[in-house]
Structure 1
């Protein structure tokens, strides 16, 4: 009897432990279901195979039954992605050239740049259970290492979730106090896909096409720079005679949320999704690369593209620094053979992008350097614009871009690269709410489409976990000294509203024919001389139209034998009753500058000294890289009434730097104001 009773008690104990264990599994599954930025409910997740982490001699494999991701160990290079019946979505070249993090760095401003794939030296498992795997590949610097090692601590993380088709990656970069000086020009994640499978690229609803291969580019004709190639004998004959250039597929950060590639047989999509801009630099309109021929897909965190070296990270004097880049999502999808693979997979990728964005900040990354939603704060307020010389003095900053970045001068967010930035758009009444802000001290910046200049609040914003910072009503006083006499363009920080020519018939990309972004065609700088063969641009206020008569870029003139000369544009206008004792103001907003110098002369083209000069400015190279803007520049130029005439006046604008076709600038907006009035 005693023995039987003991057996019954043991049986009850085993059953009770099994029930408790099952409840624990269900609870854990439920928690992790909320972590998955998709649409699967807890039942669907539980029905998905549990995660497995396979440890091999020199690799590790994350496997959730939907996809398998193979990484070299301890380097942390992505060497294989198995999905949708394809053994490996990545290229067949060597393992180090398939999927990787990389930076371009140097220790001195003028030393040789080093391309570094940040290969880890230690592998760790952060979490391994049936619902989530997070693994880490670290590289630690110490003073005994030689100068060939980047002076950063690197922690690359990869995450796989149960039931989710794809994976996530993020990294923590750290430079400790007292460490050597460091320059980093670029940081990104790159993926090289299988060339024979992926040939259709999608960046947006209107920017999709079949793409050339690397081999097509190798057999083509290199144009003014190595990235631009005329396809002379491509595999796809429909592409013959087109120009391929990776810069033609750049996007602004705010639009660079999802891009990737489609394989038609089997119908599989590979997508890079960036759910937040907080870890990218340069604000919402900084342009970066996306996907391009290769087939290649990138998640860019920062670079000199469309900004110049000023955008590079510079650590001096033993400055400590730490930043988390990502996570970004690598999303995989597939579709039945009877569906249109390109449209269906792209639309699904867009929907997944919205889910990822809505779930930011994620609650599943496990690094203590990545704060979850409850560890962040919110900043709210309203932005108004003071309109001098208008009957309605204050108006709402309709659709204003409002953002937080490290404290600095007005507009400094454009080139700030060490901290995090958080941006939103105000509504029609100027109200804004910036959510998910990391703890820290920020300045609040803004600009308003259609309104000149930049705004910066005089108040610092201290964000604490769980708090809402209510800024109240803020008033922006745009640059304004007098009433408008005339204006050219729209103050929107781009040159898009000006005349953009058609490309040469022999140097076109058919994607951008009759396209809203026709400025992305190659060689448009050469079309200036075609339009103005005998003299430079002359714009007559009240007669000329900016959409037809103001060339989008103030470029040099090709006079033959690869010789490029400066050009001088004229603005002609009439004035009556000039106030000789008053001061007029020329408001000049530039959308781009590359090795340029803008000189302003008033009514005397041949004056030995210009009335105003910017000096040498800019290295954004937006003209060569088919961007309608780079960095924003703003100048207010005083003009004494003594320099102006009753009747016809001429302002001469000389871009005085020659030597290459890419010396030049783009105008955003020009306004002449009369003397101040009561």
Structure 2
């Protein structure tokens, strides 16, 4: 490493990195053998650029032939920030980490976003990729200039007539490990993320990753984010709280094409995951020794004790909800890893309705194995399923447009594609094309948007007895209340206490999962055609909508003729 009054200069045989002493920002990224500068600029900020990190002090932590590490410090939002950059002798780029520290005697604070942004040169870094199947060349800077602002405001119609929307390239935290940009010749810059255990918002929280910016291609990592309902973080006076975000790798590579650059970055991500937790980290608060939890998850059908075949199952350890601890989708104080603490175990699986919560806390000790043995959950089912719509997987992917949900403007197509709303006939309709991926409001009289009911029709050839159950699983909701009715009768009690996850208008496919049950009186059914109506009502916000995960009806003591 070399340095002077203005910069620190990191260099290995593979790459070079320049960091400003003034701010603690990266000012240059280059790969050996190629003089192409990656960056226009970079910065670290909070709350949508309302406040920013500007280093007040820099400290050389280590400077050897094998390991260079610099720490920068500042106090922002009543918290101590420590940013570290690390380069090892085999690092193809540089590692970044951030520690936030709110001491008990510090005043209250609140923040919704903490992020690192690399503004790459859009010419030539114009190939964006965030997932295997989410990639494209961006419009040129000239095509983006003076674009027409659409709705929502982040959507922009460029000169070619295409509408680009930065939320189309958001990512889910649980399985995500790479995103970034490449040139058409395969010169790439990627965030390689071995773990998102520090991310707020739960296992499937979604957040921005990359987007356009005329002369800049914006490569972003949100260490804290609230775009999809995760909420603000708010350390209070008297609370001693800290968290380390990262380290993650800013990886530079060169390949034959953008696709090869991506595949190489994905391979490096697997290597970095195998190293996690990193042994080289000395930043206080970073936990190297972890506990382990083992066991076998089994979910059974209570009607016949048969075992469901689990597909894409997820098991999480979270904080138990309380007066001071929010739902898992909005938890932020803690990590999603296991050291010395007690956790609540929650699990779910594709093809099985519901979320299953262990009825005792799981205590984990660093360096030890907590073997839970076989954990058996019973699905909540009071009778055989009469009919169902969708696939239980906590998303709306199986419905119309769900396979390409991250595309601006899909909700606006609903009035043209379904001019009479959803009229779904059990046994005849196909939810892949006859059930929209989101229930949205449509323009009404005077230009005001209004919600319209969705109807489900089915036939019965005999009367039923007892109380039947309609189970509605919600994949996402924004400012909408839901009620149901049977055969035009009285509406059920309205469910309105949803959390707004902003999923639909930010082009997502999953938000805050919610499972609802509506009892149905036997006297309200009739022989012949029956109709269930799903009623939506706007209750706030500028956009109201929701997405269904699935709908199941259990009609007691009857055979259905569909």
Residue 673 of structure 1: how far off its partner (Å): 1.4
SS at match of 1:156: strand
Aligned counterpart for 2:423 among listed residues 530, 538, 545: 538
Match of 1:483 in 2: 384
Aligned counterpart, 1:406: 319
- Mapped partners of 1:577, 1:517: distance in 2: 38
Matching residue of 2:267: 351
Q: Does 1:624 align with 2:505?
A: yes
Q: Residue 459 of structure 1: SS of its match in structure 2? A: coil
Counting only pairs closer than 5 Å after superposition, residues 526-605 of structure 1 correspond to structure 2 as: 526-533=412-419, 535-559=420-444, 562-580=447-465, 582-604=466-488
Match of 1:330 in 2: 250
Q: 1:280 aligns with which of 192, 195, 199?
A: 199
Q: How does 1:311-460 map to 2 (within 5 A)?
A: 311-316=231-236, 318-335=238-255, 340-372=256-288, 375-390=289-304, 392-395=305-308, 397-408=310-321, 412-422=327-337, 437-460=338-361
Q: Does 1:242 align with 2:144?
A: no
State the distance in 2 between where 1:658 and 1:456 align.
30
Q: CA deviation at 1:614?
A: 1.1
Answer yes or no: is the 8 Å Cα contact 1:594–1:622 preserved in 2.
yes
2-structure distance, mates of 1:396, 1:660:
40
- For 2:220, the equivalent position in structure 1 comes to 298
Distance, in Å, in 1 between the alignment partners of 2:360 and 2:380 is 20
Query: What's the TM-score once normalised by structure 1's chain length?
Result: 0.77
1:215 deviates by 4.5
Q: CA offsets, 1:428-481, max 9 Å, x none?
A: xxxxxxxxx333322221111111111121222222222111011111122222
* DSSP-derived class of the 2:361 partner: strand
Q: Is the 8 A contact 1:595 1:616 kept in 2?
A: no
Distance 1:441 1:125, change over 3 A: farther
Equivalent-residue separation in structure 2 for 1:259 and 1:203 (angstroms): 4
User: Using the alignment, how far apart are the partners of 2:127 and 2:312 within structure 1?
Assistant: 35
Distance 2:354 2:391 in 1: 12
CA distance in 2, matches of 1:195, 1:536: 42
SS at match of 2:548: strand
- Change in Cα spacing, 1:178 to 1:636, as seen in structure 2 (3 Å) is farther
Structure whose residues are more often helix by fraction: 1
Contact 2:203 2:316 in 1 (8 A): no
Name the count of aligned residue pairs.
Answer: 552
Q: How much does 1:579 deviate?
A: 3.8
The alpha-carbon deviation at position 198 of structure 1 amounts to 1.1
Q: Is the 8 A contact 2:46 2:112 kept in 1?
A: yes
Q: What secondary structure is seen at the aligned counterpart in 1 of 2:484?
A: strand
Q: Could you tell me how far apart the structure 2 residues matched to 1:560 and 1:249 are?
A: 34
Q: 3-state SS of the aligned residue for 1:330? A: strand
1:231 and 1:241 in contact (8 A); partners too: yes
Counterpart residue number, 2:134:
207
How far off its partner does 1:129 sit? 0.9
Task: Note closer, same or farther for the CA distance 1:636–1:314 as it changes in structure 2 (3 Å cut).
Answer: farther
Give the whole-Å Cα distance in 2 for the aligned partners of 1:579 and 1:357: 55
Which ranges in structure 2 are unaligned for 5 or more consecutive residues?
A: none
What is the CA deviation profile of residues 147-205 of structure 1, one whole-angstrom value per residue up to 9, with x for unaligned ones?
A: xx511111111101113210101111111224322221112211001232212222233
In 1, Cα distance between equivalents of 2:283 and 2:69: 10
What secondary structure, in the 3-state scheme, does the structure 1 residue paired with 2:174 have?
Answer: helix
1:660 positional shift: 8.4
CA distance in structure 2 between the aligned counterparts of 1:87 and 1:210, rounded to whole angstroms: 19
Q: 2:5 maps to what in 1?
A: 57
CA distance in 1, matches of 2:548, 2:444: 24
Match of 1:471 among 352, 372, 392: 372
Q: Given the alignment, which residue of 268, 285, 289 partners 2:187?
A: 268
Distance 2:105 2:300 in 1: 47
- 2-structure distance, mates of 1:661, 1:321: 35
Deviations 1:39-74 (A, max 9, x none): xxxxxxxxxxxxx2x222132222224322222225
Aligned residue for 1:604, secondary structure, equals coil
Q: Could you say what the CA RMSD is over the residues aligned between the two structures, in angstroms?
A: 2.4
Q: Distance in 1 between matches of 2:106 and 2:557?
A: 54
Corresponding residue to 1:121 among 53, 56, 59: 56
State the structure with more CA Rg.
Answer: 1
Structure 2 CA distance for partners of 1:127 and 1:660, relative to 1, 3 Å: closer
Quick check: 1:299–1:328 contact (8 Å CA) kept in 2? no
What's the counterpart of residue 612 of structure 1? 493
Quick one: distance in 2 between partners of 1:401 and 1:159?
33
Q: 1:146 is matched with which residue?
A: none
Shift of 1:640: 2.4
CA 1:411/1:642 → structure 2, altered by over 3 Å: closer, same or farther? farther
Cα deviation digits, residues 372-425 of structure 1 (max 9, x gap): 2xx1111100111120223x4344544310122223379932222221114xxx
The answer for unaligned runs of 5 or more in structure 1 is: 1-51, 92-97, 105-112, 141-148, 233-239, 423-436, 501-515
Counterpart of 2:409 in structure 1 is 523
- d(CA) in 2 for partners of 1:256 and 1:569? 35
Deviation at 1:658, TM superposition (A): 8.0
Go from structure 1 to structure 2 and tell me whether the alpha carbon gap of 1:349 and 1:637 turns closer, same or farther (over 3 Å shift).
Answer: same
Residue 676 of structure 1 and its aligned partner are, at CA, apart by: 8.6
The superposition leaves residues 111-149 of structure 1 with CA deviations (integer Å, 9 ceiling, x where unpaired) of xx8722222211111111110011111124xxxxxxxx5
Q: Does 1:68 align with 2:3?
A: no
